[in-house]
């Protein structure tokens, strides 16, 4: 296991910490695969908390693009660049319980995507979010994919095509972040949020997550019918 990813299971909670603070928690391919494995191994936990050591959540990937003229093929790029991240995304999408991201400092590139993919994201007031890949000639289409049903298209386009920073106020307004805290009480507020989730019946919590993962793509009548079916199953199983 990478020393830059710490996984701790305690009671009903698994905490995964990006622990490469001296490099802004930049994510290597190895870290992405270890993180994916940690998510998979936490499926019996009721809450997964994703956090980071140091001043920043994650400054992006530690994966320079192939140099122009290097002869890298599309298959090379798929293997070396895309596949580790696709594995991580698949593990996060398949996780059946709530994921809580705790963000302080800069959440850039893959860091912003991890914050977005969580079910609950709590961020410090000084947090910033950014997709700056175009500065390196990289179209961040993989990073954009999880944002498509989480941010307005206009916001994604501006964020990517300007390569500018999004402050936490805008992130909250767009729905990327659900709660904002002062930096010195961020961890305390995050723990209160985790404990609040744990206080609810597990089957009801899982149903809410499943509903939110599917219902927004349905028509309103279909979404209502799905909600009624899930409600009936949960109540009947008590």
Query: What is the model's pLDDT at position 114?
Result: 98
| pLDDT tens by residue, 14-49 | 999 999 999 999 999 999 999 999 999 999 999 999
Q: What is the chain's mean pLDDT, rounded?
A: 95
The two tokens of residue 65 are 């693009």
**Diameter over CA atoms, the chain:** 63
Token pair listed for 44: 């019996």
Summarize the confidence of residues 63-79 as an average pLDDT.
Answer: 82
Selection from 114, 13, 27, 12 nearest residue 4 by Cα:
27
State pLDDT tens for residues 177-232: 999 999 999 999 999 999 999 999 999 999 999 999 999 999 999 999 999 999 99
Query: Would strands 165-167 and 120-124 be described as parallel, antiparallel, or unpaired?
Result: unpaired
pLDDT of residue 67: 78
- Give the pLDDT confidence score for residue 63 in this predicted structure: 79
Q: How many residues does the chain have?
A: 238
**Quick one: pLDDT at residue 70?**
83
Distance CA 144, CA 162 (A): 14
- Residue 13: its H or E element: strand 13-18
Looking only at the bridges linking them, the beta strands covering 179-181 and 5-10 are unpaired
Q: What is the pLDDT of residues 149-176, one digit of tens each?
A: 899 999 999 999 999 999 999 999 999 9
CATH assignment, 5-196: 3.90.226.10
> At residue 116, does pLDDT exceed 80?
yes
CA distance 39 to 48: 8
């Amino acid at each position: 296991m990478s020393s830059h990813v710490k996984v701790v299971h305690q009671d009903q909670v698994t905490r995964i910490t990006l622990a490469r603070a001296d490099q802004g928690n930049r994510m290597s391919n190895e870290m992405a695969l270890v993180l994916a494995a940690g998510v998979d191994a936490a499926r019996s936990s009721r809450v997964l908390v994703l956090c980071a050591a140091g001043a920043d959540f994650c400054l992006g990937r530690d994966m320079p693009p192939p140099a122009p003229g290097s002869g890298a093929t599309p298959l090379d790029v798929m293997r070396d660049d895309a596949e580790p991240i696709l594995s991580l995304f698949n593990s996060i999408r398949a996780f059946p319980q709530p994921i809580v991201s705790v963000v302080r400092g800069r959440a850039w590139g893959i860091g912003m995507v991890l914050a977005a993919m969580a079910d609950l994201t709590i961020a410090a007031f000084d947090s910033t979010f950014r997709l700056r890949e175009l500065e390196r000639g990289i179209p961040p289409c993989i990073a954009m994919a999880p944002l498509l049903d989480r941010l307005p298209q206009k916001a994604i386009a501006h964020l990517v095509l300007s390569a500018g920073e999004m402050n936490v106020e805008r992130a909250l307004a767009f729905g990327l972040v659900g709660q904002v805290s002062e930096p010195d009480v961020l961890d305390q507020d995050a723990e209160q949020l985790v404990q609040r989730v744990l206080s609810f019946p597990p089957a009801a919590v899982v149903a809410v997550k499943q509903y939110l993962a599917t219902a927004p793509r349905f028509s309103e009548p279909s979404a209502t019918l799905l909600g009624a079916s899930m409600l009936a199953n949960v109540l009947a199983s008590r």
